Structure 1
Amino acid sequence: MSRGRTLIGALALTGALALTGCSAQGGEDGGAEPKLTVDGAFMPQPVSDMAAGFLTVRNEGGADRLTSVSSPLSDDVTIHESKDQKMRKVAGFDVPAEGELDLERGGNHLMFADLKERPKQGERIPVKLHFEKSGPITVDLPVKAPTYNPAKH
């Protein structure tokens, strides 16, 4: 009879350890779903056939990644990183768990090349942000003055 109790105890302990291991394997964010919102979006009025876009992606959930951007304004919308006063196209940006991704003047940004038209101040440009885990988010970029630069909060 004591062997049966020992076997039952061992099986219970093994099951408990297996369950504990499963819950710890979700990654650094515990496998939580991303909860993304976008604010502070704008586009300075373009002065050539190229334009830039800026915004903040806020995340109240698990980590995600911005992988691409599309817009009817251009068939060539890319994501750019700025480092050491040089910019280069990148495949995406991480949106940290419980954090934010800032795309801002002088830093990382969206780049629109070969514009189909030059939007004027006061217009709104639809942009679709594509993420690795979350569904796409469509946001309108209000066109601001060419020199517009919002103050950091």
Structure 2
Amino acid sequence: MRRAALPVAALAAATALAGCGSSGSPGSTDSADASKAELSVSASYMPQPVSADMAAGFLTIANKSGAKDELTSVTSDIAGQVTMHSTVGGAMEEKTSFAIPAHGRLVFKSGGNHLMFEKLRRKPEQGQKVTLKLTFAKSGPLTVEMPVRSATYNPSTGH
């Protein structure tokens, strides 16, 4: 009986030590993931553009984690270029990035921060969806399907 207990104890100890090596150590996947933002996108929409060469886009990026991040670029197959803008006191200014705070949100809405789809390759129509790729400083990219709404759509009223 004593002989059987020794190999079982040695196996249990080896298994326990192997488990300790990866969980929570500085180079482990677990701790690397803890430093990344947990991002999600909601409330995305594009009003049907009135111009054949330019459109606006709006969305909200939520960050559920304690790590901040930064939106660094947006691309779309329908536009030659997508630029990011802030609006403060009625003045619009192009931005190269937007901060996404830890446990916070980055909001793009009419009259505030917004996306401009420039040099449209095709004019999006109401009922279609536009695909865009959001690129971040730390997190992996997110692909978003943005619905095209009526030109007068207002998310607060649903019209």
Task: Indicate the TM-score class for this superposition, using the shorter chain for normalisation.
Answer: 0.7 to 0.9
1:38 to partner: Cα distance? 0.3
2:137 corresponding residue in structure 1: 132
1:12 corresponding residue in structure 2: none
Measure, in 2, the Cα distance between the counterparts of 1:74 and 1:47.
15
1:32 to partner: Cα distance? 2.8
Q: 1:121 aligns with which of 123, 126, 135?
A: 126
Q: 1:148 aligns with which of 144, 148, 153?
A: 153
| Superposition map of 1:67-106 within 5 A | 67-106=72-111
Measure, in 2, the Cα distance between the counterparts of 1:149 and 1:130.
27
Measure, in 2, the Cα distance between the counterparts of 1:66 and 1:143.
22
1:39 corresponding residue in structure 2: 42
> Once superposed, what is the RMSD of the aligned Cα atoms?
1.5
Which consecutive unaligned segments of at least 5 residues does structure 1 have? 1-30
| Superposition map of 1:57-76 within 5 A | 57-61=61-65, 62-76=67-81
1:132 to partner: Cα distance? 0.3
In the alignment of these two chains, the number of paired residues is 123
TM-score, length of structure 2 as denominator length: 0.74
Which consecutive unaligned segments of at least 5 residues does structure 2 have? 1-33
Tell me the amino acid that sits aligned with residue 97 of structure 1.
A
3-state DSSP class of the match of 2:148?
A: strand
2:54 corresponding residue in structure 1: 50
Measure, in 2, the Cα distance between the counterparts of 1:75 and 1:115.
6
3-state DSSP class of the match of 1:75?
A: strand
